[in-house]
Chains A and B, each alone.
Chain A
Amino acid sequence: MGVTDWLEASALGVWTRESPSIWAYPTILTLHTIGLGMLAGANAVVDFRLLAFAPRLPLSSLLPLYRFMWSGLAINVVTGVVLFVAEATSKARQPVFFVKLTVIALALATTVKIRSSLLQDPAIEHSGTIPRRARQLALLSLLLWTAAITAGRLMAYLR
């Protein structure tokens, strides 16, 4: 018996998958969607700011948004692990699941890069023009988070 069989047969796996309770699979899945909205949504705010859609928005005032991103990420790591445990054998065989994990890793790296190198750069804040590198990173972030959502959604359709 492999690790994924063991996970799926665990008490947590069985409860998540088989409990008729609204608090089992339905609520965990809904929390995963709320976490997605917090993480990708707050990211989009920063990215569109860096793409000059809202030039009057002070970059440094967006720093508290990262609390919402990290909260969304925490919700989705926990709920994502539980959702995986519930259907470990089939999900571990889905190529799109590994595409999703890879894309999320790249997207997170981009988010961290933007947070550490751009949001506290006084040159960007006060010059009024956004350097090419910042715009490229913002566009990359938007594309990667969109790809992460797409891969996640396609897990329900591609076997």
Chain B
Amino acid sequence: MDGFVAWLEATALSRAVVGHGWVWPLCETIHFIGLSLVLGIAGFFDLRLIGFLKRVPLAAIRDLMPIAVVGFVLNLVTGLAFFIGMPHQYVRNVAWWAKVCCLLLAGLNALLFETLLGATRSLGAGDDTPLSAKVIGAVSLASWLGVLYFGRMLPFLGNAF
């Protein structure tokens, strides 16, 4: 692990991230904008799955998913920039590993939804969701909030600043 960290920190990309004072604040700002898009749109979909906002047709929310994906990609790219810039802050940080676990859980959960609950996607206004969809919605919302929580806690539960 130490060898990997040392190798990564010696790369030109890593030096570019930490070598310019404006790169980190810019990435942080983009990371928070992406966070809002993901939480706003995925959270909206999850709340509808759980049983809130029943007048919203589920299929119609899915039209917004590309924007949530844009938010996620923004955060993946800026998150990788943080990791490449200062890997030593993350590889032994318990909050970072918890964040990665929450991300994997959110991803697997979404995959489960797409493979098992395809029919739910076409539910219209007023339709109730099956219990399985409510569980998947709750797991999704909890895992995205977990990603946010452990991300924000990186400096406090671990050693990142």
A49–B60 alpha-carbon span in the complex (Å): 10
Residue in A40, A55, A61, A65 whose CB lies within 8 Å of B36? A40
Whether A30 contacts B149 by the Cβ 8 Å rule is yes
Q: Which residues of A contact B57 (CB under 8 A)?
A: 56-58, 61
Are A153's CB and B29's CB within 8 A? yes
**Chain B, 3-29, contact with A by CB distance < 8 Å: what is the 0/1 string?**
000000000000000000000110011
Main secondary structure on chain A at its contact with chain B?
helix
Q: Is the CB of B32 within 8 A of A34?
A: no
Do the beta carbons of A54 and B64 come within 8 Å of each other?
yes
Q: Let me know if A38 is at the binding interface, CB within 8 A.
A: yes
Residues of A within 8 A of B52 (CB): 64
Cβ contact within 8 Å between B32 and A36: yes
Interface size classification for chain A? 35 or more
- Whether A108 is near chain B, meaning CB under 8 Å from some CB there, is no
Interface presence of A43 (CB below 8 A)? yes
Question: Is the C-beta of A33 less than 8 angstroms from some C-beta in chain B?
Answer: yes
- Given A37-B40, A44-B40, check contact A55 B152 (CB 8 Å): no
> Is the C-beta of B39 less than 8 angstroms from some C-beta in chain A?
yes
Q: Is the interface of B mostly helix, strand, loop or mixed?
A: helix
Question: Known contacts A53-B67, A55-B63; is A41 also within 8 Å of B40 by CB?
Answer: yes
A37→B29 contact, CB < 8 A: no
Interface residues of B in 96-136 (CB under 8 A from A): 125
Q: Does B56 contact A (CB under 8 A)?
A: yes
State in angstroms the CA–CA spacing of A15 and B52 once bound together.
37
Q: Residues of A contacting B125 with CB < 8 Å?
A: 58, 61
Which of A25, A26, A45, A64 has a CB less than 8 Å from the CB of B64? A45
- Is there contact, CB below 8 Å, between B53 and A65? yes
Residue of A nearest to B37 (CB): A44
Contact residue among A26, A58, A62, A150 (Cβ-Cβ distance under 8 Å from B156):
A26
A149 lies within 8 A of chain B by Cβ: yes
B153 touches A37 (CB 8 A): no
- Whether B41 lies near A44 (C-beta < 8 A) is yes
Question: Does B80 have its Cβ within 8 Å of any Cβ on chain A?
Answer: no
Known: A58-B60, A149-B29. 9 other contacts (CB 8 A): A37-B35, A38-B39, A41-B44, A45-B40, A48-B64, A53-B64, A56-B63, A58-B55, A154-B29
B interface residue numbers (CB < 8 A to A): 24-25, 28-29, 32-33, 35-41, 43-44, 52-53, 55-57, 59-61, 63-64, 66-67, 125, 145, 148-149, 152-153, 155-157
Enumerate 22 A-B pairs (CB-CB under 8 Å) in ascending A order: A26-B155, A30-B153, A34-B145, A36-B35, A37-B36, A41-B36, A41-B43, A42-B44, A44-B37, A44-B67, A53-B63, A54-B63, A56-B57, A56-B60, A57-B57, A57-B64, A58-B55, A58-B60, A61-B125, A153-B25, A153-B32, A154-B25
